[in-house]
């Protein structure tokens, strides 16, 4: 017996998110519609995240963001997007692998050498997000660069939250 019996496929649901209001996208994906579209485009271009035969990059990213943004279980995402748990698992880890490459590019260790004589410095783990705007490649407008910097910082923060759980 088939238990994926919703009339709305994952593709249709993703289209509804993309064509719906900004509040819906922000509530479900934890980011603005513009941020989501740009994030998907960034991963297509820079991390070779590709559409599969039946699932778009946007749908893969939406499943990933719903899982990490709301601590959703595969079975919940399975019913929402009408894919098997194996498919959800496959695409979650595909996006996660690309997200870890993104994090490696964006999160860099601090470059300063703290004084080892200060108590606790030897035990602290320092992570520094490189926010030097001059290092961001000059593609697009200043607004695009600002957006990418904010997006990078937001994703870095969320990834650090996941690591600390």
Q: Is the pLDDT of residue 147 over 80?
A: no
CB 107 within 8 A of CB 152: no
Q: Rounded to two decimals, what is the model's pTM?
A: 0.64
Give the pLDDT score at 121. 54
Give the pLDDT score at 20. 86
CB 38 within 8 A of CB 154: no
Give the pLDDT score at 45. 96
Nearest to 127 by CA among 110, 139, 149: 110
Nearest to 6 by CA among 27, 16, 43: 16
> Stretch 80-96: mean pLDDT, rounded?
95
């Amino acid at each position: 017996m088939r238990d994926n019996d919703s009339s709305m496929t994952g593709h249709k649901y993703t289209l509804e998110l993309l064509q719906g209001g900004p509040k819906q996208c922000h509530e479900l994906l934890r980011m603005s519609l513009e941020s989501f579209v740009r994030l998907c485009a960034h991963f297509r271009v820079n991390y070779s995240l590709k559409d599969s035969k039946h699932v778009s990059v946007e749908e893969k990213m939406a499943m990933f963001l719903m899982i990490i943004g709301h601590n959703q279980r595969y079975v919940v995402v399975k019913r929402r997007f009408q894919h098997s748990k194996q498919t959800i698992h496959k695409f979650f880890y595909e996006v996660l692998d690309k997200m870890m490459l993104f994090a490696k590019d964006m999160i860099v260790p601090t470059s300063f050498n703290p004084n080892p004589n200060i108590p606790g410095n030897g035990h602290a783990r320092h992570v520094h997000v490189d926010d030097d705007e001059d290092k961001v490649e000059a593609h697009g407008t200043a607004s695009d660069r600002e957006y990418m910097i904010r997006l990078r910082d937001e994703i870095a923060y969320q990834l650090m939250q996941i690591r600390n759980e």
